Amino acid sequence: MGGQYRKQKLDLTSNSDPAVPIDFTGLRGIPANRMTRFNNTNVGSAFGKLNVKEVFAEAQVPIFKGQPLAEELSLNGAFRLTDYSTSGSVKTWKVGAVYKPIEDVMFRVTRSRDIRAPSLFELFAGVQTAPVNFNDPHTGQPGSIRQFSGGNPNLDPETGDTFAAGVVLSPSFLPGFDVSVDYYDLKIKGAIATQGLNDVVNECETSNGTSPTCALIERPLPFSDRSPANYPISVSLITQNISFLRTSGLDITMSYRTKLGDGELALRAFANYLDRYKSQTNSIAPVIDYAGHGVNSQTGYAYPKFRGTLSANYTNGGLTLFVQESMIGKVTIGNLKNDPTSFYAVPAIKPVFYTDATASYKFDVRGEPELFVTATNLFDRKPPLVAAAAAPGLLYPTLFTLYNVAGRTLTAGVRFKF
C-alpha cells in the first residue's frame, strides 16, 4: 500500500505569441491581414499547473505450491485511486493469475483498466497559428484561412482496457533455454487527439451546423449563408478526447545461455506480429486498420505487421562482444480500407535489415575503467525511398519514424566509476 502527491507546472514564453499583434504599418510586401511575427509558425505563451493525489494497493495471493499438477497457482491484483486537480478522480486496477502445472511450463493471464493522463502541454499549450490553403465545402470557395491550434484544460485521461495471456516454456532437458508467447489486446477510449482542419469542417457540415465543432469555425455570417462572402476567417484545432484505438498481436521471445570456452554466450530472439491497429480519429471518421501500412506525410504513420531482433552476447572476463540483427517487415504504402484518399500506385516496401555491434573491455583495477566501441547500422543500410504526400522538399523521402536515416554511426568512449 502507498500514496503519493505531486505538483507539475508549465511556464513557456514566446517571442512570436499570436495573441500579441504586430503593427506592420508602412512596411511593403506584407499582407494587410498579417498580424503575426512569422508567416508559418507562431507559438503562443503557455502557463498552467496541476496537482495529483493518489493512493494504491497491491497484493499477491498464493493458492497452491509444490502440489501435483500445481507446482504454483497464485493470484495477483492492484488498485489505484488518482485525483487530478484538472479532471477529477479516476480508478485503475489489475487482476491476474499465474499457473505452473509443472516446473517447465507456466501460464499467465492479466486483465487491467489503465489510464494516460494528458500532459501539461496537451492541457495548457499556447495558441499556435499558421496560414492554410483551404477549399471550403460550405461555400464552395477556395482560399487561405488562419488555422489556430493549442491545448485544452478540459481534457480527461485516456482510458484503456488491456487483456494479455501467455505461456512460458523452460524445458528441464535444455538448461538455459526459455521461450514465451504472449497475446495482447488493448482498447483505448477517449484517446487524446487533434481533429484536422477538414475533419472539423466536414463534421460541422454533416450535422448541418448543430455539432459542437461548429464553434471552432469562425465565419463572418450565419451558418445558413452559403454565399462566397461566408468563407471562413479561421478554424481552431484543439486537443480533445475524441479518438479511438484498438490494437492486438503476439510477442514471442526466446533466450538461451550457455558456456562457451572460458566465457558465456547469451542468445536472444524477439518477434512481434501486429494483428490489427484500428483507429478512429473522430466521431464521423471511419474506423481504419493501419496494420501493415505506412505513409510519408506531415501526419504520417508506419505500422509493419512483423518486427524482430536476433542478438548474441559473449562475455569472457572483461571482454564483451555484442551483435544484433533487426528486421522491419514489409510495409504497404497507403491503400487503406475505408479510406479512398489513401490510394498509392507504388509497390510495397520489402523487409529491411539493420546490424548493430558493440565491443568493450573492462579492466579489473580501481574505478573499473571500460573501453567500448559501438556501431549502429554497421553496413550503412540506406532507408528505402518513400515519396512524401506534401510539397516537394518539405519532408525526407522515407518513413523516418521507422527507418534509420542517419546511416552508420560509430561511437567510442570510456566508462569508469568514481
What is the Cβ-side half-sphere exposure of residue 297, based on CA atoms within 13 angstroms?
Answer: 11
Calpha distance 334→338 (Å, rounded): 11
- pLDDT for 39 equals 67
| Cβ neighbours of 229 (radius 10 Å) | 11
Q: What are phi and psi of 42, to 5 degrees?
A: -130, 115
Q: Which helix H or strand E contains 121, and what residues bound it?
A: helix 120-124
Dig out the grid coordinates for 352 from the structure. 529491411
Tens-binned pLDDT, residue by residue, of the chain (418 aa): 999 999 999 998 888 777 676 777 777 777 666 667 776 667 788 899 999 999 999 999 999 998 888 899 999 999 999 999 998 999 999 999 999 999 999 999 999 999 999 999 899 988 887 778 889 999 999 988 888 888 899 999 999 999 999 999 999 999 999 999 999 999 999 999 888 888 889 889 988 999 888 999 999 999 999 999 999 999 998 888 888 999 999 999 999 999 999 999 999 999 999 999 999 887 778 899 999 999 988 778 899 999 999 999 999 999 999 999 999 999 999 888 888 777 888 899 999 999 999 999 999 888 899 999 999 999 999 999 998 876 667 778 899 899 999 999 999 999 988 8
SS3 content of the chain, % helix, strand, coil (to 5): 5, 55, 40
Determine the pLDDT at residue 403: 95
| Residue tagged 509558425 (cell numbers) | 41
Predicted confidence at residue 43, as pLDDT, reads: 76
Look at residue 188 in the predicted model and tell me its pLDDT.
94
pLDDT value for 44: 80
One-letter amino acid of 366 = R
By DSSP bridging, strand 105-116 and strand 128-136 are unpaired
Amino acid 34: pLDDT: 67
> Which triple of cell numbers denotes residue 239?
486537443
In angstroms, the CA 105 to CA 38 distance is: 63
How many Å apart are CA 38 and CA 18, to the nearest integer?
9
Whose CA is closest to 147, among 228, 237, 214, 15? 237
**How many CA atoms lie less than 13 Å away from 416 in the CB half-sphere?**
11
pLDDT for 326 equals 98
φ/ψ (deg, to 5) at 229: -65, -15
In this structure, the chain runs to a length of: 418
What pLDDT does 391 receive?
Answer: 65
Distance CA 307, CA 251 (A): 10
